[in-house]
């Protein structure tokens, strides 16, 4: 009983059985998190470094909590107060940390492929906590876990991924995962934010009309407009984006059905999603955050078993 990969770099590298194993293990960890004592001794002999070269609130806290709930020793690294600011290379930084006997690396980096590069040069197991515009595998896993928990299935589920598809590692990881698990995937948003090759390359439907996308789907996973990754204007204004593509109560009330609303956070309230939608019973945004800890515990548990064969 183990994953087929040594690292968790992306959903792209996972087999269907790997995804099922992570999701079913996460179910058991979710029960652990309801106990009076929420901590298990499973990884008490494991030291994990959280290397965050890019800002994060949810993901970093979620990983750190998952590690602590598993009794691992945790070291946190943020680039702003580290020697990376003095010009040390990524590989040097990591090798220095590993020489202090660290077993696992959780890494976020603004460069796509950074964890893949690291995986070629170091022995420790690596979990990608988001690399540039490439992948964010644990987010896709917790999204899938939350969808499965609420709807009871992934196969045949109609999922619309809405918004800034172009700059979103969440979108790419979600598409890989949902396709592998047999869900139907549609992407929706302004044409300037949807890569033209996506339909062919990933076998997803593309719908530029947001109302049609909402009418089609069971689940709408709404993404953040990533202004920090856009170096040219891709839509005219945030106000106009909200009018044309924002998820509003008005739009949801026009549907003759209930759909689930998801968002990986942080939300730009009033841009891609209105506040009353985020706070409504449609929204499972806080369930996603809660499930994130259990899903990350499952990933850490399944990867450590693999990384230290006796």
Partner 1 sequence: MTLISEQQLPSIVKRLAHQILETYPGLNNAVIVGLQPRGVYLSDRIVAALQQEIAADKVHYGKLDITFYRDDIRRDLHLAKATYLPFSIEGKTVILIDDVLFTGRTIRAALDALLSFGRPAKVSLCVLVDRKPSRELPIQPDFTGKEMADASPYKVKVRWKENDGVDDVILLVD
User: CB-wise, 270 or 305, nearer to partner 1?
Assistant: 305
Which stretch, 18-26, 111-119, 142-150, 238-246, contacts partner 1 (CB under 8 A)?
18-26
Tokens of 34: 């309801």
Is there a contact between 155 and 216 (Cβ–Cβ < 8 Å)?
no
Indicate whether 35 belongs to the interface with partner 1 (CB under 8 A): yes
User: CB-wise, 24 or 199, nearer to partner 1?
Assistant: 24
User: CB-wise, 21 or 175, nearer to partner 1?
Assistant: 21
Strands 104-109 and 47-52: parallel
Q: By CB neighbour count within 10 A (0-12 exposed, 13-18 middle, 19+ buried), where does 35 fall?
A: exposed
User: CB-wise, 100 or 310, nearer to partner 1?
Assistant: 310
DSSP-assigned letter for residue 150: H
Distance CA 270, CA 264 (A): 16
Which stretch, 33-41, 144-152, 206-214, 221-229, contacts partner 1 (CB under 8 A)?
33-41
CA terminus-to-terminus distance, the chain: 15
Alpha carbon separation from 170 to 56, 130, 143, 222, 247 (Å, rounded): 14, 8, 9, 10, 18
> Residues 263-302 vs partner 1: string with x where CB under 8 A?
--------------------------------------xx
Closest CB 103 distance from partner 1, rounded Å: 11
Indicate whether 15 belongs to the interface with partner 1 (CB under 8 A): no
Q: Where are the beta strands (DSSP E) in the chain?
A: 47-52, 73-78, 104-109, 125-131, 158-162, 184-188, 205-207, 219-222, 260-262
Which of 36, 87, 152, 281 is the binder for partner 1 (CB under 8 A)? 36
User: CB-wise, 288 or 304, nearer to partner 1?
Assistant: 304
Indicate whether 16 belongs to the interface with partner 1 (CB under 8 A): no
Q: What are the residues binding partner 1 (CB under 8 A)?
A: 1-2, 21, 24-25, 27-29, 31-32, 35-37, 39-42, 45, 70, 301-302, 304-306, 308-310
């Amino acid at each position: 009983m183990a994953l087929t990969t040594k690292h968790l770099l992306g959903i792209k590298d996972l087999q269907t059985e790997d995804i099922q194993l992570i999701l079913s293990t996460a179910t058991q960890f979710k029960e652990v998190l309801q106990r009076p004592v929420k901590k298990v001794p499973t990884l008490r002999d494991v030291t994990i470094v959280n290397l965050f070269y890019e800002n994060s609130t949810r993901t970093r806290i979620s990983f750190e909590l998952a590690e602590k709930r598993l009794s691992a020793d945790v070291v946190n690294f943020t680039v702003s107060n580290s020697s990376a600011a003095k010009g040390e290379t990524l590989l040097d930084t990591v090798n220095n940390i590993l020489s202090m006997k660290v077993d696992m690396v959780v890494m976020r980096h603004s460069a796509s492929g950074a964890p893949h590069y690291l995986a070629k040069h170091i022995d420790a197991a690596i979990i990608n906590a988001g690399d540039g515009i490439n992948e964010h595998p644990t987010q896709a896993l917790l999204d899938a876990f939350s969808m499965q928990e609420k709807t009871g299935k992934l196969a045949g589920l109609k999922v619309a991924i809405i918004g800034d598809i172009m700059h979103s590692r969440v979108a790419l990881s979600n598409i890989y995962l949902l396709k592998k698990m047999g869900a139907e995937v549609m992407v929706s948003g302004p044409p300037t934010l949807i890569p033209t090759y996506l339909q062919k390359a990933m076998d997803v439907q593309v719908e530029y009309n947001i109302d049609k996308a909402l009418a089609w789907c069971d689940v709408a996973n709404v993404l953040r407009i990533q202004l920090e990754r856009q170096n040219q204007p891709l839509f005219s204004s945030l106000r106009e984006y909200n009018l044309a593509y924002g998820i509003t109560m008005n739009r949801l009330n026009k549907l003759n059905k209930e759909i689930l609303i998801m968002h990986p956070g942080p939300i730009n309230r009033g841009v891609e999603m209105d506040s009353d939608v985020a706070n409504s019973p449609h929204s499972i945004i806080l369930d996603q955050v809660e499930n994130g800890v259990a899903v990350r515990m499952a990933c850490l548990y399944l990867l450590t078993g693999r990384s230290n064969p006796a």
